[in-house]
Amino acid sequence: MIPGKEPSSVDDQARRDAFARALARAIARIDRRSAAIRSDLEKAETARATAERARLFVASAAAAPRGTLILVALDWATGGPEPIEMPLDPSRGAGEQLAAIFRRARRLAAGAATSRERLRVTEVAGDRLRELALSLAAEDVDIASLEARALHIAPRDYSHGVKAAAAASPKKSRALARRPYRKFVGATGRVIFVGRDAERNDELTLHVARPRDLWVHARNWTGAHVVVPLDKGESCPAEVLVQAAHLAAHFSEARSERIVEVTYAPRRFVRKPRGSPPGAVVVDREKVLVLRKQDAILRGLLDSEVEL
């Protein structure tokens, strides 16, 4: 016991300290997510600016033969004609390269509205949690009330209860630390697992997923392994497959693409060649879904994440 303090005071201080740590963890998660969303928005803005500049070269691109190294155009933005240049890949047509720039800008712009709304909601949650942290300075603060408010503000990020249970049970804490996946809730409460990184992709696919579970991945892109647990003899519902495909596309290098090919197969047809790098696997009997991403579906899935 701490000299000069009653047992209840010691307990109150311990609970206050635990809550402060839980808040700090939640705020850090929110800040990381905000940074990732801002990065996506910056990419969209860069693509927009690149497309605007590329429009100046449309006329010269139409007359440029294949093999052209540089396009030249005049920029009147400053009030007078300023010659500007655009380097080209000589193995591709100039018009084809401009079209690719415009397509990328349109794809990123289509998702920017969703990203801005997600950023707004995320930053509001972070600000409200920071207000709770400031209120801890009051001596007579009701910690139980603050805990309830934190859970209401950020159920996805505030996980005091999980952390406290883990601290009380070292065995459970080790089990939680071993979980190699993120957990989302799809249609009709269906659970979908998403690997956290290349090494934990291997762990999810090779050690967590069962042979009958469905394995999903963005085809020909680096990204997360996605697993839909299935009962024996069960087929994956079409709606859940589409949701799993959205997660596979989002947690991959195809995140900014609007149309993504997604491969899927029962886990028993996924194998890892000896000596292959982390996350690299070979898929037999794969099927391919051409996914046209829908922001509403993706937003609902991201909001359904269960904090582990």
pLDDT tens figures, 270-297 = 999 988 899 999 999 999 999 999 998 9
Q: Which pLDDT does position 16 carry in this prediction?
A: 86
Cβ-contact 94, 64 below 8 angstroms: yes
**Residue in 302, 94, 88, 295 with CA at minimum distance from that of residue 184:** 302
Q: Which pLDDT does position 118 carry in this prediction?
A: 86
Q: Which pLDDT does position 135 carry in this prediction?
A: 87
pLDDT at residue 31 tops 80? yes
pLDDT at residue 187 tops 90? no
Phi-psi region at 275: left, alpha or beta (left = phi > 0; alpha = psi -120 to 50): left
Per-residue model confidence as pLDDT tens digits over 39-66:
989 989 999 999 999 999 999 999 999 9
Strand duo 191-195 + 226-228: pairing: antiparallel
Q: Which pLDDT does position 116 carry in this prediction?
A: 87
Distance, in Å, from the CA atom of 196 to the CA atom of 204, rounded to the nearest integer, reads 9
- What the block records as the tokens of 133 is 């942290």
Percent of the chain with pLDDT over 70: 90
Per-residue model confidence as pLDDT tens digits over 94-143:
999 999 999 989 888 887 888 888 899 899 999 999 999 998 888 788 88
Cβ-contact 163, 173 below 8 angstroms: no
**Residue in 167, 192, 174 with CA at minimum distance from that of residue 182:** 192
Q: Which pLDDT does position 142 carry in this prediction?
A: 86
Q: Which pLDDT does position 108 carry in this prediction?
A: 84
Phi and psi, residue 66, nearest 5°: -60, 140
| Whether this model's pTM surpasses 0.95 | no
Cβ-contact 66, 96 below 8 angstroms: no
Q: Which pLDDT does position 1 carry in this prediction?
A: 39
In order, the DSSP letters of the chain are --TT--HHHHHHHHHHHHHHHHHHHHHHHHHHHHHHHHHHHHHHHHHHHHHHHHGGGHHHHHHPPTT--EEEEEE-TTSS-EEEEEE--TTS-HHHHHHHHHHHHHHHHHHHHHHHHHHHHHHHHHHHHHHHHHHTTSTT--HHHHHHHHHHH-TTT--HHHHHHHHH-HHHHHHHHH--EEEEE-GGG-EEEEESSHHHHHHIIIIIS-TTSEEEEETTS-B--EEE---TTPPPPHHHHHHHHHHHHHTBTTTT-SEEEEEEEEGGGEE--TTPPTT--EESS-EEEEEE--HHHHHHHHHTPBP-
For the chain, give every domain's residue range.
Answer: 1-178, 180-308
Q: Which pLDDT does position 10 carry in this prediction?
A: 63
Q: Which pLDDT does position 96 carry in this prediction?
A: 93
Per-residue model confidence as pLDDT tens digits over 15-29:
888 889 989 999 998
Span of 72-81, 256-265, 284-293 with lowest mean pLDDT: 72-81
